[in-house]
Structure 1
Amino acid sequence: VVEDLSAVELDPDLLLLLMELVFCLLVGGELGPAHQLHSNILSKMEKRWKLISSPQSLCPLAAKGVAARPGTLLDFRSQDLAEQLTLLDSELFHKIELPEVLLWSKEQNEERSPHLTRFTQHFNSVSFWVRSVIILQDKAQEREKLLLKFLKVMKHLRKLNNFNSYLSILSALDSAPLRRLDWQRNTFETLEEFSSLIDSSSSFRVYRTALAEVEPPCIPYLGLILQDLTFVHLGNPDTLMTSEGSNVNFSKSWQQFNILDTLRSYQQVRYSLQPDSDIISFFNDFSDHLSEEALWELSLGIR
């Protein structure tokens, strides 16, 4: 049945059902059929990925004698990928308004914090896109190449002070579906080294120190800023009772102001980067990714 499906027909919902079937076959001891079905699924998903990733304008450009853009992630320079990730992040980051950040620490209302919500969704989309790009490779060698490619991109993101995409990719590479697979020892050690930046010990001391030392432009990791604001909000009352009655808790307001003022300082300086239409088209708004369930099922099918 899978062999008769076109690449377009194999959508995420159908993929999840098929991977559940693979799992049932494995549990039932039907190793041969399970392996064959898994191989067919991966082959179809690879074709679907290439089909989705290909720009609609590729044929017309080639017909005009214009060089077609690269077709896979490995064809792009790591620095260029990092710069375009930063440019996309920056466009969303500078739209965020400080009041919606403060509001989010109190009630997490997506409708009242639209720009912050879009920025957060973008972070998650990039992360799941990275996982999908790697997990859809049938061969371990190809998965290894892509993981190393993303590590190189992260290196350039760090130079650009883009902690947002840096941590988005890191969350992908350190996710359960990828972490459980076999990797070369030096690859794993490099990933561990990159992970040290976001070590949660001592209230993320390593990351906070690195952030404090950067010269803008910079895109911070908003997750920690929101966490800090939430702690301030929950740990301090809005008013204090004194002998004169109820007064505004200026200490709480001052802490909130300092956090938001630091965020504002990062928004005041922009990157001088130029958009690359080929790479941005290749990213396709990072919408071509699998669900968490589908990623896990594919990972289980690999070994």
Structure 2
Amino acid sequence: MAQQDAIERIDSGCHDSTDGVAGNKNEEMIKAGTLPFLVENLTRHDKLDAAFNRTFLATYTYFTSGSELLDHLVDRFDNTPPPSTIQTEIEQWSIHTIPLIRLRVVNILRQWLEHFWSEPKGPETDDLLHKMRLFVERVNSAAETPTQQLDLIIQRRISGQPYTKRSHPSISNPPKPILPRKLDKLQFIKIDAKEIARQLTILEAQTFSKIQRHEFLHKNWQKKTTPLVAPNVRWLIRHSNQLSNWVCGTVLAESDLKKRAQVVDHLVNVATTCHQLQNYSAVISILSGLESAPIYRLARTWAMVTERSCNLLRPLQAMIVSSQNYQAYRETLRVAVPPCIPFLGLFLKDLTFIEDGNPALTPEGMINFHKYSMLATTVQDVQRWKEAPYCLQPVPELQEYFTKQLHSAVELHEMWDKSCELEPKGRGLGNRPRDLYTPTGGMSASMVVACMVLDD
């Protein structure tokens, strides 16, 4: 990346930067820069770059601290023109430029506190908030910039009250649940596949909607701190693995060959409905269970699976084929309209590669802002699926049943002996009655990678 000339503006001194040109509109795309330059771009008087601002505020913890950021914003608010500026330009600066800069600073502080606050609870954060409060009081006394709303937000943060996001409009008339005859004696095979998919989707959506942006940053989902810094992402990882294990265990629980094939058929119907609900997390977890080694080897079972189920499985498998970096799955997500629950494994893999594969600083010692732009874009891709809620009705008895089933699921490596006991010859079977569908055997392993493995 070539080093370009530093940008000079009349509203500030000269700060080092490296810029690129995006598209045909000669729009600036900041690739790297010093912290003073990035803060200056954050609060420019002549341009509002909302995408840059979101990226900066979403990822600032990688290259600065909250206290240092506040210091730079205060300095920016108190900005003076360069010493060489002539008197007429100083007058123009005082009348037109500095009021806009100060308004930008106040707006950035408000955005930071409302939508991008990533500071941990503790004495240092309390000191930071009180420091902000003193700054606001100083600004108010000068009666230069309206800061009443900012002051209220700071007070709310100091008192520990979280910022309340705008709630989604209530959705009425969800589809009527398809209930089994006996809710007190539930059996998987007798529960309607569509309702199983709905209840699994509700369970995942409840936690997916709670994920905070910082849970995806700094590989927080891999950290076992107390309290956990990524509790919701870790819950979804564990849920995904448990669902896969439960699928495998549910198939192997049937000693009768015909009933075992019927369980596979039922699971395929569940996965198909999850796909229709755009719960791709559950789709991939169910397929992962069906493709696991203990199930993959059951040649007699797969020979008994209906042709209809085999035909339903093929497009689901094609959606998550690994060719061209999972292009088919990425395209599916790109055109999907919320609500949607994506499979997190691929996003966590992307985030890990971005973090590990890109330096924090450029060879010139500047902040590699291009790295943080990629991180912020990837996180935003996940966050946007939370924009709309599912219109589904929970059934407490079914949710409790599936929660217990998933929590009691054993690990895959413990199921191999059971599989060999049910069908000793496995894939070594000679002439099979038919071969309508051939599992690939662990097809999602490369998608999951180590990102979906919790070191508990």
1:229 aligns with 2:351: yes
Partner of 1:278: 397
Structure holding more helix per residue:
1
1:257 aligns with 2:371: no
1:101-140 correspondence runs (5 A):
101-104=216-219, 108-111=222-225, 112-140=229-257
Partner of 2:411: 291
Task: Provide the TM-score with structure 1 as the length reference.
Answer: 0.73
1:138-157 correspondence runs (5 A):
138-157=255-274
Q: Distance in 2 between matches of 1:148 and 1:82?
A: 14
Partner of 2:98: none
Q: Distance in 1 between matches of 2:376 and 2:395?
A: 37
Q: Which of 91, 94, 100 lines up with 2:215 in the alignment?
A: 100
The AA in structure 2 aligned to 1:251 is H
Deviation at 1:75, TM superposition (A): 1.5
Contact 1:96–1:116, Cα closer than 8 Å, also in 2: yes
Q: Distance in 2 between matches of 1:68 and 1:196?
A: 37
1:166 aligns with 2:280: no
Residues 162-200 of structure 1: CA deviation (Å, up to 9, x unaligned): 011111111000000001002127355643442111100
Q: Distance in 2 between matches of 1:110 and 1:220?
A: 24
The gaps in structure 2 that reach 5 residues or longer are: 1-180, 424-456
Corresponding residue pairs, total: 233
Q: Distance in 2 between matches of 1:290 and 1:263?
A: 30
The gaps in structure 1 that reach 5 residues or longer are: 1-66
Contact 1:110–1:117, Cα closer than 8 Å, also in 2: no
Cα 1:110–1:101 shift into 2, 3 Å: farther
Contact 1:232–1:252, Cα closer than 8 Å, also in 2: yes
Cα 1:256–1:284 shift into 2, 3 Å: closer
Deviation at 1:118, TM superposition (A): 1.3
Residues 66-110 of structure 1: CA deviation (Å, up to 9, x unaligned): x632531121111111110100000111222111211227x8213
Deviation at 1:288, TM superposition (A): 2.2
Partner of 2:194: 79
The AA in structure 2 aligned to 1:167 is I
3-state SS of the aligned residue for 2:363? strand
Q: Distance in 2 between matches of 1:143 and 1:198?
A: 25
When the two chains are superposed, the root-mean-square deviation of aligned CA atoms in Å is 1.7
Deviation at 1:256, TM superposition (A): 0.7
Deviation at 1:238, TM superposition (A): 0.9
Contact 2:248–2:412, Cα closer than 8 Å, also in 1: no
3-state SS of the aligned residue for 1:239? coil
Contact 2:290–2:296, Cα closer than 8 Å, also in 1: yes
Cα 1:110–1:119 shift into 2, 3 Å: farther
Q: Which of 59, 68, 76 lines up with 2:182 in the alignment?
A: 68
The AA in structure 2 aligned to 1:94 is S
Task: Provide the TM-score with structure 2 as the length reference.
Answer: 0.49
The AA in structure 1 aligned to 2:360 is D
The AA in structure 2 aligned to 1:275 is P
3-state SS of the aligned residue for 1:240? coil
Partner of 1:91: 206
Q: After the TM superposition, list the runs of 4 or more consecutive aligned residues in structure 1 that deviate by more than 4 angstroms.
A: 187-190
3-state SS of the aligned residue for 1:241? coil
3-state SS of the aligned residue for 2:362? strand
Aligned-residue sequence identity (percent) comes to: 28
Cα 1:110–1:94 shift into 2, 3 Å: farther
1:175-186 correspondence runs (5 A):
175-182=292-299, 183-184=302-303, 186=307
1:51-62 correspondence runs (5 A):
none
Q: Distance in 1 between matches of 2:224 and 2:203?
A: 21
3-state SS of the aligned residue for 1:271? coil
The AA in structure 1 aligned to 2:410 is L
3-state SS of the aligned residue for 2:415? helix
Deviation at 1:290, TM superposition (A): 2.4
